[in-house]
Amino acid sequence: MSIPVIKNEIVTVEIVGLTHEGEGVGRVDGFTLFVRGALSGERVQAKVLKVKKQYGYAKLLELLEASPDRVSAPCDIYNQCGGCQLQHMSYEAQLRWKRQHVVDNLQRIGKLQVAGADGQGVNAGAGRAEQSGIRVHDTLGMTDPWRYRNKAQVPVGMSDAGFGGSAVPSRAKGARQAERSAAADGELIAGFYAQGSHRIIDMDRCLIQDERNDAVVRLVKQIGRRLGITAYDEQSGRGLLRHVVVRTGYVSGEMMVVLVTNGSRIPQVEQWIEGIRAELPAVTSIVQNVNKKNTNVIFGDETRVLWGQEVIYDELDGIRFAISARSFYQVNPQQTVALYRKAVEYAGLTGTENVIDAYCGIGTISLFLARQAGQVYGVEIVPEAIEDAKRNAALNGIDNATFEAGPAEVVIPRWRQEGNKPDVIVVDPPRKGCDNELLETILAMQPERVVYVSCNPSTLARDLRVLEDGGYRTVEVQPVDMFPHTTHVECCVLLVRD
């Protein structure tokens, strides 16, 4: 079949769906075009940018028929910044799309049968005849889906392209905003990357960040400009400041500022500290992380406290946590509580159970579980996280949680050999999903329940297929909108031994 479009052609495209990255999936005479910014059900005029054998990419030029789900994105730089993908879709439509995204992955990748959604729970002992497929609940959303992030990780660059970074002026709503956002040539800039690139979009505010995080990023830019600090350049390997990382305690209000640098020495470091403390008294910790490697990974191995505490403290559902610069800690506290409460509910604890928490991080889910379990065993590959987990257990007076550093697929089989027989296993893996060895160990240990917390519907579906083939039944899935206005969705899943 001949390709019905050519590069640079202006075409009318019928949008029939969205990709997992939020791009519109369009059809022109049966040929697929991906159109960023288009929504399902729309008819658009677009310019063809790239053509391949099976599909192509096009730029949205004009809306001919708009979706009823379309809204105006409130962010000034939304069309340039790659941080959010769905601000042009109503929040109610985002929640519906995220549930369908989960369903599609369960069916397509996991080959799993999904029941209709009515928002009701399922008896964990129900048979297939009673349940007729996996219950996928409506996505659990937020009342106010803005300003929810307690952590900012912002790359830093220079405003002249000659040094590597480049600033793109904000599409502001007024002349004063445009004047504020534009950086002079050679000045320090900070913001998120443009979609699909490492070109920094300079910004002074982000509508999904805690406003206090915005204030820190603005202040660091101001101080850096005043002191003549250079930004790290990926191509040359020169320049000092790589990232600004800010953590804000949701309950405590304590703040940590992390300067990620391409070298150990920070010129005029005392002026940095004085400037931050004078403007932002809520900051209780100023930390430097040294990363000299030519890598996209944000943090290096060396972390030192420049001023204040080594950690900040925060609270989730009455449990207190100490959070260090490199700790993994969920960025949306309100939704984290909802997600972890669901995990505890699915664990079905009565106070006597042995529970294993794989990928336990700093012990967040472990400590939620420990309040209702007999004994909890947490394992995590990052030694610093395990030290944080132990400290957090002691901080809350919880003595029925034990933590060990190492790969889950190595430590848990050894626990099994030592006679540790869990009633429940909870997994919360990274985006790549569970290691095969861990899945095999779960099947060998045969806990009555498995609770799977996932940040990636595709690897979740893949792993559920393995567990189902090994004798488990997926009962229900609760999608949780941890990252409004992006394409990401978390899930909490209950499996029982069939």
For the segment 214-228, what is each residue's pLDDT rounded down to a tens digit?
999 999 999 999 999
Q: pLDDT digit string (tens) for 355-365?
A: 999 999 999 99
Task: Please report where in the chains the tokens 């405590």 appear, as a residue.
Answer: 252
DSSP notation for 200-252: EEE-S--TTB-HHHHHHHHHHHHHHHHHTPPBP-TTT---SEEEEEEEE-TTT
pLDDT band at 195 (very low <50, low <70, confident <90, very high): confident
DSSP notation for 344-402: HHHHT--S--EEEEES-TTTHHHHHHHTTSSEEEEEES-HHHHHHHHHHHHHTT--SEE
| 380: Cα separation from own chain's centroid | 19
Q: pLDDT digit string (tens) for 56-114?
A: 999 999 999 999 999 999 999 999 998 999 999 999 999 999 999 999 999 999 999 99
Q: What is the mean pLDDT of residues 448-454?
A: 98
Residues ≥6 apart with Cβ < 8 Å to 278? none
Asked whether 331 and 296 are in contact (CB, 8 A), the reply is no
Q: What is the CATH number that goes with domain 151-323?
A: 2.40.50.1070
Give the number of other Cβ atoms within 10 Å of residue 368's Cβ: 25
pLDDT of 466 above 50: yes
Burial readout 262-278 (b: 16 or more C-beta within 10 A, e: otherwise): bbeebeeeeebbebbee
360 classed as catalytic: no
Residue tagged active-site, from 75, 81, 360, 455: 455
Give the number of other Cβ atoms within 10 Å of residue 421's Cβ: 11
pLDDT of 166 above 70: no
How far apart CA 50 and CA 108 sit, in angstroms, is 28
pLDDT of 258 above 60: yes
The pLDDT of residue 160: 63
Q: pLDDT digit string (tens) for 302-354?
A: 999 999 999 999 999 999 999 999 988 999 999 999 999 999 999 999 999 99
The pLDDT of residue 364: 96
Q: Which fold has domain 94-144+332-497?
A: Rossmann fold (3.40.50)
pLDDT of 186 above 80: no
pLDDT of 251 above 80: yes
Q: pLDDT digit string (tens) for 366-408?
A: 999 999 999 999 999 989 899 999 999 999 999 999 999 999 9
- Phi first, then psi, for residue 211 (nearest 5°) are -60, -30
How far apart CA 289 and CA 324 sit, in angstroms, is 12
pLDDT of 167 above 50: no
pLDDT of 269 above 90: yes
Q: What is the CATH number that goes with domain 10-65?
A: 2.40.50.140
List the chain domain ranges: 10-65, 94-144+332-497, 151-323
The pLDDT of residue 24: 98
pLDDT band at 118 (very low <50, low <70, confident <90, very high): very low
Q: What is the mean pLDDT of residues 427-439?
A: 95
Quote the mean pLDDT of the chain.
91
Angle at 237 between CA 232 and CA 238, to 5 degrees: 60
Q: Which of 417, 415, 412, 444 is nearest to 427 (CA)?
A: 412
Q: What is the mean pLDDT of residues 174-195?
A: 64
Which bin fits 378, alpha (ψ -120 to 50), beta or left (φ > 0)? beta
**How distant, in Å, are the alpha carbons of 3, 12, 92, 483 from that of 36?**
21, 14, 20, 19
Q: Do 151-323 and 10-65 have the same topology in CATH?
A: yes
Instruction: Say what the pTM is.
Output: 0.90
Q: What is the mean pLDDT of residues 417-440?
A: 95
pLDDT of 117 above 60: no
How far apart CA 97 and CA 119 sit, in angstroms, is 16
How far apart CA 218 and CA 211 sit, in angstroms, is 11
Angle between the N-to-C axes of helices 91-108 and 457-469, in degrees from 0 to 180, rounded to the nearest 10: 40
Asked whether 475 and 495 are in contact (CB, 8 A), the reply is yes
pLDDT of 417 above 70: yes
pLDDT band at 1 (very low <50, low <70, confident <90, very high): low
User: Is the C-alpha dihedral spanning 269, 275, 278, 281 positive or negative?
Assistant: negative
